[in-house]
């Protein structure tokens, strides 16, 4: 189909073409980007504007000191001129039914409501996982009706393979569970004690998913075993997910997470015969707890009727640990969570529980499902015990001890809201089995105490889910994804669902306009600056000591302690690396930072990048750093450790070809080898070399399989005919140039002076003095001394002469 070209508004000039071409490169760029009527160039210009808008990190100074740690500022951002510079690709404008359109601004569709993943197959044909309609779901593909099944039957293989992998590892504890959806409704605003989202106004409703479980039994065990019951609530708040992961008893068996593996190993079926299932009435459990007197309180609860509840709807729930609530001013109080069932607390008697387990092992699961289906929705009232750190210090027990309760007579339970479960899951596996709770999932307005058992739980749950659910992206499984927007720089990993737009996956940045940026203390989660003891001046905080703000003093020390050639290499390295940067503003920002370390270095780098004038020095995070004790340290230079002066292990290339003088080559080889070097005969081809004097030489390397830059030194041969042969091979010139340019020692036997000259190398330095690394005339001892120096940097020029 013919198309009509749109004429240029103006005829492009040579500079226009150069500008447009430069914008299409991804590994280098000009010193300045010239605007042009072209998407790639416009993107480059606007990326530069984003970078220019952040000449330094204005938050850096605020990262130091305790007070700053309590008042963290929001991250710096720059508004882009358009969406071009923050995108991954210019081709995002090309749409299809699969790719859809450009990513919606500021939206992460991967965490939208579960409607996006619900499936209803009513009226639909059967397909493969790739959407291919299946004609026959009754028979495998065979060669003839009585022939063998064929490997090419991708429909059979897909179906069987998926079936083979339909199970995932069960939870180590709490494997037997049941769940339901519902909501939490706040009675009154609790803004005086917390800024946590569910408690900000009377009548506020927060969606929840709740999972009840036994602890000991495997996934197929009975519901009515005597056991602790898990009571885990996932709040889908508008500031992220909060998991209140508790039990139906307010205390626990142990005081420190270090003992949790021991407890679970003791209560689980005994490893030699895997009995008893879902029961604690056996030797190993009682052996353990009888040696752990701190378990006594929990044993009272577990052996009471609470260990065999009538139903999930008629048991209490507790957060177990002491948590903190934090208000907008940063003031915190201690809190303990209580779920009190509206239908009362009721239990089974032991004989009843035993008989029910035989007739209906799914008794509790069935009860929860049927109540919700019938509209008799389970309901609990959330109550809080609220007390101060000063109050806690006056108690006869320690509130950080998870084997202790705070009696309601000391601190009454304050009702703050109600939770109703009103929807059964659509799919048990996708929701109840895949839901992942974690004690570390809290939102602004909540925080932890120093309970040592809680500290272990904060780590353990996430670690477990990574194994169970196939990798670090279990939070993207629909039942686990929050309602609150998710924007961070986490990428990749197994089963990643989100497709992130743009080139930026780090913070701070300027190429994404600073986004996503840290929320700051006003909006983001801030840990309470809890102290170990109330009398201490400082406590837990996200901040750095003030001296950490001195970012340049030791950088200056390092640079000033280098030899001139090492300093030149540092400048060249910065020049090369920054020349690969396509956004000039980033180069300028880096040079402005280097000015605080060394004006000389910054000037060299700027000159090498065509940058004039120098950008102003970057503002320092610490205006007046302490006077350093040391301003020059020779030990920081590589030259401070020249070694023992030997050439042991050095690889020396000895070029040979038919017609060389064999005896001189063999003699040099022997002398080098005697000093511990590794000399190698390198010829145009490996194998025997026909020397002019008949001395046997067998080349074990060739000019093409062992290039010159692999060697520490070079020996050029004697013998006119051999030298002439080498001069006709382009590899020889490259070999010599690399050795010379890299400042290696070169021994030039008499006939090879022409090779040195042909390669453009010189026996004299730019200063006119003799090059100590180019040894002429066959003085092997002088050459060995030259090799021992490793390199002869006085030969080096920038740019190189050869």
Question: Are the C-beta atoms of 697 and 656 separated by less than 8 Å?
Answer: yes
- Told to judge if 488 belongs to the known catalytic residues of this protein, a careful annotator would answer no
- Alpha-carbon distance of 421 to 354, in angstroms, equals 28
| Cis amide bond preceding 516, omega within 30 | yes
Q: Are 665 and 671 in contact (CB under 8 A)?
A: no
174 has catalytic annotation: yes
Q: How many CB atoms lie within 10 A of CB 399?
A: 23
Which of 675, 679, 738, 667 minimizes the C-alpha distance to 709? Answer: 738
Give the span between the Cα atoms of 377 and 368, in whole angstroms.
9
Cα three-residue angle 484-488-492, rounded to 5 degrees? 115
Q: Note if the pTM is more than 0.85.
A: no
Cβ neighbours of residue 119 closer than 8 Å, sequence gap 6 or more: none
CA dist 442 and 527 (Å) reads: 11
Residue 2 in this model has a pLDDT that exceeds 50: no
Non-local CB neighbours of 693 within 8 Å, separated by 6+ positions: 661, 662, 663
Are 732 and 755 in contact by the 8 Å Cβ rule? The answer is yes
- Tokens describing residue 771: 């090059």
Q: Which range is most confident: 141-155, 195-209, 537-551?
A: 195-209
What is the spatial distance between Cα 310 and Cα 288, in angstroms, rounded to a whole number? 29
Confidence of residue 536 (pLDDT cuts 50, 70, 90): low
pLDDT in tens, 576-635: 999 999 899 999 999 999 999 999 999 999 999 999 999 999 999 999 999 999 999 999
- The tens digit of pLDDT for each residue in 787-796 reads 999 999 999 9
Checking if the pLDDT of 677 tops 50, the result is yes
Going by C-beta distance under 8 Å and a sequence separation of 6 or more, which residues neighbour residue 621?
60, 61, 63, 64, 549, 551
Confidence of residue 15 (pLDDT cuts 50, 70, 90): low
Evaluate if residue 511 carries a pLDDT over 80. Answer: yes
Model pLDDT for residues 342-360, shown as the tens digit of each residue: 999 999 999 999 999 999 9
Kindly list the distances between the CA atom of residue 112 and the CA atoms of 92, 399, 432, 483, in Å, as whole numbers in the listed order. 22, 39, 19, 6
Q: What is the mean pLDDT of residues 314-334?
A: 95
Residue by residue, DSSP assigns 710-748 as G-SEEEEPP-HHHHHHHHT-HHHHHHHHHHHHTT-EEEE
User: 538: closest CA among 3, 67, 10?
Assistant: 67
pLDDT computed for residue 277 by the predictor: 94
Nearest CA to 36 out of 23, 27, 25 is that of 23
Q: Give the β-pairing of 379-387 and 205-214.
A: unpaired
The encoded tokens of residue 501 equal: 């737009």
Question: Coil, strand, or helix at residue 642?
Answer: coil
Question: Confidence class of residue 163 from pLDDT cuts 50, 70 and 90?
Answer: confident
- Starting from the edge strand earliest in sequence, which strands make up the sheet with 774-776, in order? 701-702, 678-683, 651-655, 713-716, 745-748, 774-776
pLDDT of residue 756: 94
Looking at residue 545, its pLDDT comes to: 81
According to the model, what pLDDT value does residue 13 have? 47
Question: Among candidates 47, 103, 35, which has minimal Cα distance to 78?
Answer: 47
Contact criterion met (CB below 8 Å) for 380 and 342: yes
pLDDT score for 462: 86
- pLDDT over threshold 90, residue 486: no
Q: How much of the chain exceeds pLDDT 70, in percent?
A: 97
Query: Please, what is the average pLDDT of the chain?
Result: 90
Structure tokens of 295? 């378990």
Q: Report whether pLDDT(713) > 90.
A: yes
> What was the pLDDT predicted at 162?
84
- Cα separation, 245 vs 745, whole angstroms: 70
Question: For residue 67, is it left (φ>0), alpha (ψ between -120 and 50) or beta?
Answer: alpha
Closest CA to 439 of 264, 244, 249, 254: 244
Integer Cα distance of 244 and 439 in angstroms:
7
DSSP letters for 652-667? EEEE--TTS-HHHHHH
pLDDT of residue 90: 86
pLDDT at 9: 35
* 111-152: pLDDT as tens digits: 888 888 888 888 888 888 888 888 888 888 889 888 888 889
Angle at 326 between CA 320 and CA 331, to 5 degrees: 125
Q: Report d(CA 613, CA 511) in Å as an integer.
A: 23
Confidence bin at 535 (pLDDT 50/70/90): low
> Does residue 646 carry a pLDDT above 50?
yes
159-163, 334-338, 661-665, range with the lowest pLDDT: 159-163
On the question of pLDDT at 404 being above 50, the answer is yes
pLDDT one-digit tens code per residue, 416-449 = 999 999 999 998 999 999 999 999 999 999 999 9
What is the pLDDT at residue 157?
Answer: 86
> What pLDDT score was predicted for residue 275?
92
The better pLDDT of the pair 771, 544 is held by: 771
Q: What is the CA radius of gyration of the chain?
A: 37
User: What pLDDT score does 534 carry?
Assistant: 52
Neighbours of 147 (CB within 10 A): 9
pLDDT at 3 over 60: no
Catalytic choice (64, 174, 321, 364)? 174
Residue 98: pLDDT band (50, 70, 90) is low
Tens digits of residue pLDDT in 203-249: 999 999 999 999 999 999 999 999 999 999 999 999 999 999 999 99
Section 46-67 average pLDDT: 90
d(CA 324, CA 319): 12
**Any residues with CB less than 8 A from the CB of 629 and at least 6 apart, and which?**
none
In whole angstroms, what is the distance from residue 237 CA to residue 443 CA?
8
pLDDT score, position 461: 87
Question: pLDDT (tens digit, 9 = 90+) per residue, 723-754?
Answer: 999 999 999 999 999 999 999 999 999 999 99
Alpha helices in 399-487 (DSSP H): 452-468
Give me the mean pLDDT over the 500-516 stretch.
Answer: 88
Distance of CA 194 to the CA centre of its chain: 31
C-beta separation of 376 from 188 below 8 A: no
As a dihedral over the C-alpha atoms of residue 513, residue 516, residue 522, residue 527, rounded to 10 degrees, the angle is -140
* Catalytic residue (one of 59, 68, 247, 661): 247
Angle between helices 260-267 and 283-290 (to 10 degrees): 150
Residue 637 has pLDDT above 80, yes or no: yes
Distance in angstroms (rounded) separating the CA atoms of residues 661 and 675: 22
Residue scoring higher pLDDT (59 or 130): 59
Instruction: Report whether pLDDT(56) > 80.
Output: yes
């Amino acid at each position: 189909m013919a198309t009509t070209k749109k004429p240029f508004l103006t005829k492009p000039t040579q500079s226009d073409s150069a500008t447009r071409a430069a914008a299409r490169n991804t590994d280098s760029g000009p010193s300045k980007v010239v605007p042009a009527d072209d998407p790639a160039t416009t993107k480059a210009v606007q990326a530069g504007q984003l970078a220019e808008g952040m000449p330094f990190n204005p938050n850096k100074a605020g990262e130091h000191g305790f007070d700053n740690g309590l008042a963290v500022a929001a991250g710096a951002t720059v508004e882009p001129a358009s969406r071009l510079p923050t995108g991954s690709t210019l081709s995002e404008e090309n749409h299809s039914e699969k790719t859809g359109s450009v990513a919606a601004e500021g939206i992460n569709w991967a965490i939208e409501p579960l409607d996006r993943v619900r499936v209803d197959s009513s009226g639909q044909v059967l397909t493969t996982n790739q959407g291919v309609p299946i004609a026959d779901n009754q028979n495998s593909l065979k060669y003839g009706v009585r022939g063998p099944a064929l490997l090419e039957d991708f429909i059979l293989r897909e179906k069987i393979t998926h079936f083979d992998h339909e199970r995932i590892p069960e939870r180590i504890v709490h494997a037997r569970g049941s769940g339901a959806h519902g909501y939490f409704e706040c009675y009154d605003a609790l803004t005086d004690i917390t800024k946590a989202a569910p408690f900000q106004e009377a009548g506020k409703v927060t969606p929840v998913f709740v999972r009840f479980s036994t602890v000991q039994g495997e996934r197929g065990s009975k519901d009515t075993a005597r056991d602790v019951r898990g009571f885990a609530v996932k709040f889908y708040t508008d500031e992220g997910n909060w998991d209140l992961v508790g039990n139906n008893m307010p205390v626990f068996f142990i005081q420190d997470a270090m003992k949790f593996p021991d407890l679970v190993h003791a209560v689980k079926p005994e490893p030699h015969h895997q009995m008893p299932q879902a029961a604690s009435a056996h030797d190993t459990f009682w052996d353990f707890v009888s040696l752990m007197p701190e378990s006594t309180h929990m044993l009272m609860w577990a052996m009471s009727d609470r260990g065999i509840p009538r139903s999930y709807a008629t048991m209490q729930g507790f957060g177990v640990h002491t948590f903190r609530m934090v208000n907008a001013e940063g003031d915190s109080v201690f809190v303990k969570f209580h779920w009190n069932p509206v239908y009362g607390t009721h239990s089974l008697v032991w004989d009843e529980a035993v008989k029910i387990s035989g007739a209906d092992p799914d008794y509790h699961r069935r009860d929860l499902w049927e109540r919700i289906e019938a509209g008799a929705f389970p309901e609990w009232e959330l109550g809080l015990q609220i007390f101060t750190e000063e109050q806690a210090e006056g108690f006869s027990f320690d509130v950080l001890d998870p084997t202790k309760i705070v009696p309601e007579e000391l601190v009454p339970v304050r009702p703050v809201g109600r939770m109703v479960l009103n929807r059964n899951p659509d799919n048990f596996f996708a929701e109840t089995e895949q839901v992942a709770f974690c004690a570390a999932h809290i939102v602004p307005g909540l925080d932890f105490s120093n309970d040592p058992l809680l500290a272990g739980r904060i780590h353990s749950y996430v670690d477990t889910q990574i194994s169970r659910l196939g990798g670090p992206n279990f939070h993207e499984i629909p039942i686990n994804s929050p309602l609150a927007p998710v924007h961070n720089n986490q990428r990749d990993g197994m089963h990643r669902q989100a497709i992130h737009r743009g080139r930026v996956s780090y913070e701070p940045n300027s190429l994404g306009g600073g986004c996503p940026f840290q929320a700051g203390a006003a909006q983001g989660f801030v840990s309470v600056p809890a102290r170990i003891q109330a009398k201490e001046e400082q406590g837990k905080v996200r901040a750095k000591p003030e001296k950490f703000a001195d970012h340049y003093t030791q950088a200056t020390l390092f640079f000033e302690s280098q030899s001139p050639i090492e300093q030149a290499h540092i400048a060249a390295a910065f020049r090369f690396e920054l020349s690969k940067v396509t956004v000039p503003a980033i180069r300028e920002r880096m040079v402005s930072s280097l000015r605080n370390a060394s004006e000389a270095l910054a000037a060299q780098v700027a000159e090498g990048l065509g940058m004039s004038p120098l950008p102003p020095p970057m503002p320092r995070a610490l205006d007046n750093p302490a006077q350093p004790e040391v301003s020059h340290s020779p030990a920081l230079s590589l030259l401070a450790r020249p070694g023992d002066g030997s050439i042991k292990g050095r690889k020396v290339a000895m070029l040979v070809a038919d017609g060389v003088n064999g005896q001189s080559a063999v003699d040099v080889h022997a002398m080098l080898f005697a000093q511990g070097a590794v000399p190698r005969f390198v010829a145009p081809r490996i194998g025997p070399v026909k020397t002019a004097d008949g001395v046997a030489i067998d080349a074990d390397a060739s000019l093409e399989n062992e290039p010159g830059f692999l060697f520490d030194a070079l020996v050029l041969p004697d013998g006119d005919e051999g030298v002439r042969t080498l001069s006709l091979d382009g590899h020889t010139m490259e070999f010599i140039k690399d050795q010379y340019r890299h400042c290696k020692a070169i021994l030039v036997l008499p006939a090879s002076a022409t090779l040195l000259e042909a390669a453009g190398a010189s026996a004299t330095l730019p200063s006119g003095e003799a090059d100590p690394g180019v040894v002429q005339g066959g003085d092997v001892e002088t050459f060995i001394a030259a090799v021992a120096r490793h390199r002869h940097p006085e030969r080096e020029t920038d740019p190189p002469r050869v």
